[in-house]
A and B are shown apart, each in its own frame.
Chain A
Amino acid sequence: MVSEMQQATVTRPQIRVQNAVKSFSGRVVVDIDDLTLGDQPIEGLIGPNGAGKTTLMRMIMHSTPLDRGTITLFNANGGGDVVISNLPTHWMAPHGLVKSNQVIMDFDNLTILDSMLLAVSTAKYEQPHRIFDEKPLYDDNVERMHEYMEYFDLGDPMRIAGSAGEKKLLDIIRCLLLEPKFLMLDEPTAGLPEEITEKVVGLVRKLADEGTSVVIVEHDLNVIWNLCDDVHFMAEGSVVLRGSPEEIRQNSTVVEKYLGEGHV
């Protein structure tokens, strides 16, 4: 039993950020010496606005380029270690690293079904000469897509996502359909109704149990306290504190800088 658990910790994907710096017009937004994410199945990243949480996640995805530093993904898809700070963004998903978006992002013109098919489709299908691949793509993935549609009670998938909440949910579903090994969620529950939030939380737990490492940025602290095994507290561009949810919420610096007395 013990050895099995050790095994599980060893093969869990991790991200190590070393000497990573990012500044915007002279102001340093992120400055991290050495940070490892993914020791625990679900980790939270909290901190006041402007602490650099979203920028750090974007740096990991390389959608924001680093000024300097190295980011490595251990136990990527296929088992190897990859220096991801040298790779373009579109290589992250094939390596198993996926991030949901803080702001609402959608493809106008594409239906919900389109969005899901786009997520499950790979470069193999998306060649100009592969003109009869729509049906095999659909047939190979229809069960997986239906599971999510039923779980979230999406209704008719052949329409364009309407409300902000629906688009936000669709963004998360797209991420899940990519079968991430390391999943980063940037404020996943902002703008979602409570029962959907609970369903998302349930799915995240299940994923983590199955071996995916999850990192969540979230302002709804109830989600953080209930879900996370470990919490990183970020302020002014670096992680200043790390610990279990209990330790973090009782720490005087965190209370003073972020939570306020009422939350203890």
Chain B
Amino acid sequence: MNLNWLDAFLISGLFSVVVIIGLALLLHLQLGLTRIANFGVVGFFGIGMYSFGVLFTKVDWPFGDLPAFLVSLAFGTLVAGLSGLLVGWLIADLDEDGVLVGTLGFATVVFILATTEQDLTGGALGLGGLKFPYDVGTVKADEFLWLIIVIIVVTLIFLYVWWVHRTPYGRLLIATGANEPLARSLGKATFRTKLWLFAVGSAGMGMIGALFGVMERFLAPENLGIDVTLAAMVALVIGGTARAWGAVIGGFLIFGFFDIIVQSYIPFPKAWYGQAIPNAKLIVEGLVLMGVLLFRPLGILGAMRRDKLMRRVHG
């Protein structure tokens, strides 16, 4: 396959945008619908990535790469889901501040574990030995195929999240977020609802982490910085927390602009790409976030508009 037309920066840029959108979509279910402000996104992302990576590289698999990859991916997803269940059980009945501190604390725990458990994770030196579960020729072709696979996964997540608004389950999530005592008085098991949503959402974040790890090929604690959480949060808030499209639009606007257009298409001097542009990116993200919160607090897409949705579904 001739991929000369494709810029390597474009692949990595698009990949990071798609990963952020995937995380932001899962965050939309937790924060936008059920109003659980999960500030530990990177914790679940990271625990999935490392559980996957450790199992994949440390075990002497008796069978081929693809089954080994699938088993490890399932393991990473499961570990992230179980930690989501545990953290969710601890935070589900706390107020917003408690949820913030609890989830942020979990992300810190994961970061510290990745740094200190050197036998398993390689510590600050990192964990190498990850590879694509296939080989289609060049590295570029492998990466391109991986990008396509992750785009398909994130599209499926989007379709589910978009559709959930049109189901009784989605209505339950919105009601739980909007007025939990009232939902409870209508016979809704709100604690269980929040717990399972949190666990399943975290499992999804862990799976995305594992997919991200494959593309990185080398896992290091610096992948687990708060910037991952903030990227998902910023994308969602700018696009609109209450809308499924919010994650997509916010992700493309902010991260698409920097990671694709600035990286690949604007001929800044090479030296700028080391420090100046990443820092400028953080500054612009912060400014845009402040601007959006000041002038359009519900994000670009605005309020949920159940009235229009109901008319479309039952009209």
Contact = CB atoms under 8 A, between A and B. Distances in A.
Given A63-B185, A92-B187, A110 B168 contact: no
Contact of A118 (B163, B186, B193): B186
B163 A178 contact: no
B179 A105 contact: yes
Interface residues of B, number: 38
A128 B196 contact: yes
B196 A160 contact: no
A229 interface: no
B169 to A, nearest CB: 5
Interface in A54-109: 61, 63, 88-94, 98-99, 101, 105-109
Interface in A97-138: 98-99, 101, 105-111, 113-114, 117-119, 121-123, 125-128, 130-134, 137-138
Contacts, number: 119
B202 to A, nearest CB: 14
Secondary structure of the A side of the interface?
loop
Q: In this complex, which of A63, A94, A98, A108 has the most chain B Cβ atoms within 10 angstroms of its Cβ?
A: A108
Contact of B307 (A98, A105, A134, A158): A158
B280 interface: no
Interface string B189-203: 111010011001000
Given A106-B179, A107-B174, A109-B242, A61 B310 contact: no
Q: Which residue of A117, A130, A134, A138 has the most chain B CB atoms within 10 A of its CB atom?
A: A134
Contact of A110 (B160, B175, B197, B315): B175
A93 B186 contact: yes
A160 B305 CA distance: 9
A107 B178 contact: yes
Contact of A126 (B160, B168, B184, B314): B168
Interface of B: 160, 163-164, 166-169, 171-172, 174-175, 178-179, 181-191, 193, 196-197, 200, 242, 303-304, 306-307, 310-311, 313-315
